[in-house]
Amino acid sequence: MQSEAFTLYQPKRRDTPVVFSSPHSGRVYPPEFLARSVLDSHAIRSSEDAFVDDLFLAAPDFGAPLIAASAPRAFVDLNRAADEMDASVVEGVPRSPHNPRVASGLGVIPRVVSGGRQIYRGKLALVEAEERIRSHWHPYHAALRQLTEESHGLFGQSVLIDCHSMPHEAIEAHSRPGFPRPEVVLGDRFGAAAARDVMDRVEAAFRRAGLRVSRNAPFAGAYIAQTYGRPSRGFHVVQVEIDRALYMDEARILPSADFDAFRALMAGVMAEITDIGRRQVPLAAE
């Protein structure tokens, strides 16, 4: 299923409560958006989780749906609340109490891309910002909410894997001297977004694939984990951040030579993750 806001890849038979979501891998850059930006068509992609949707594209083969955003993060950030508006970039928005994400230029309508580089020459009209939220943010979250509720209804729980990538330099900046830097960072907001056993199983899947894993540092989870994670009610969210250096050339924003090998490795990880809560769903009557 494809819409203006997202592409939804459904399994032939859904037999796991796991749902995969890639909210930052969108790469449909509207020409009018590019024309308004001070950045060129390459630099503006620096905050994009390039190719993450491709890494998880085999999810339906393991009985799980994958929803992937169409619009890029620089255009509208689906991992922010719809009201996290930045008065510095959207006209007519009142300044609200301090919000570190908005203050850093990373609200729902971002002001900057990676490295703090400004996107726009001036401010956007409020009506334009609201249209992006109406046409992209709301449809994506309506579909994501439906997917998680369907899982809960079918299996008694929902396990949402929130798929992201992280710049290699971000890991180096947060690594402790003398300790190997993680290649995957899992975030569950320190237990607030997922039960311990779910987090343990997701971590084990990545570790068995030979990847170095850390929890909640430096990324613990943002809006999606905070909003959809209700472990006491059977709604679990684990945010996954993967070092981009494992599968892409960050400078050129191209898949690396070993991209296919890493994607195959990720298929093995998905096979394990989708075993969480798996059960056989009876075939519908003819």
Q: Please give the domain boundaries of the chain with CATH numbers for all domains.
A: 6-71+138-273 (3.40.630.40)
Using DSSP's 3-state secondary structure scheme, residue 180 falls into coil
The pLDDT confidence band at residue 255, using thresholds 50, 70 and 90, is very high
The pLDDT confidence band at residue 95, using thresholds 50, 70 and 90, is confident
The pLDDT confidence band at residue 285, using thresholds 50, 70 and 90, is very low
Q: Given a cut of 70, is residue 284 above it in pLDDT?
A: no
CA-to-CA distance for 133 and 142, rounded, in angstroms? Answer: 12
What mean pLDDT is predicted for residues 71-78?
97
What does the pLDDT read at residue 280?
A: 56
What mean pLDDT is predicted for residues 60-78?
97
- The predicted-structure confidence for 117-169, as pLDDT tens digits, reads as follows 999 988 999 999 999 999 999 999 999 999 999 999 999 999 999 999 999 88
Q: Given a cut of 90, is residue 173 above it in pLDDT?
A: no
The pLDDT confidence band at residue 233, using thresholds 50, 70 and 90, is very high
The pLDDT confidence band at residue 111, using thresholds 50, 70 and 90, is very high
C-alpha to C-alpha distances, 20 to 55, 83, 151, 160, nearest whole angstrom: 11, 24, 12, 6
Q: Given a cut of 70, is residue 21 above it in pLDDT?
A: yes
Torsion of CA 162, 204, 217, 71, to 10 degrees: -20
What mean pLDDT is predicted for residues 68-76?
97
Give the residue, 94 or 19, on which the prediction is more confident: 19
User: β-pairing, 6-9 with 66-69?
Assistant: antiparallel
What does the pLDDT read at residue 115?
A: 85
What does the pLDDT read at residue 103?
A: 80
- Range from 88-92, 171-175, 214-218, 246-250 carrying the lowest mean pLDDT: 171-175
Q: Given a cut of 90, is residue 100 above it in pLDDT?
A: no
Q: Are 240 and 162 in contact (CB under 8 A)?
A: yes
Which class for 239: exposed (0-12), middle (13-18), buried (19 or more C-beta within 10 A)?
buried
What mean pLDDT is predicted for residues 65-89?
95
Instruction: For the chain, give the percent of residues with pLDDT over 90.
Output: 81
The pLDDT confidence band at residue 179, using thresholds 50, 70 and 90, is confident
Q: Per DSSP, what are the bridge partners of residue 162?
A: 21, 239
What does the pLDDT read at residue 110?
A: 96
Q: Mean pLDDT score of the chain, rounded to an integer?
A: 93
CA-to-CA distance for 266 and 179, rounded, in angstroms? Answer: 24
CA-to-CA distance for 140 and 1, rounded, in angstroms? Answer: 12
Q: Given a cut of 50, is residue 283 above it in pLDDT?
A: no
Q: What is the pTM of this model?
A: 0.93
What does the pLDDT read at residue 277?
A: 92
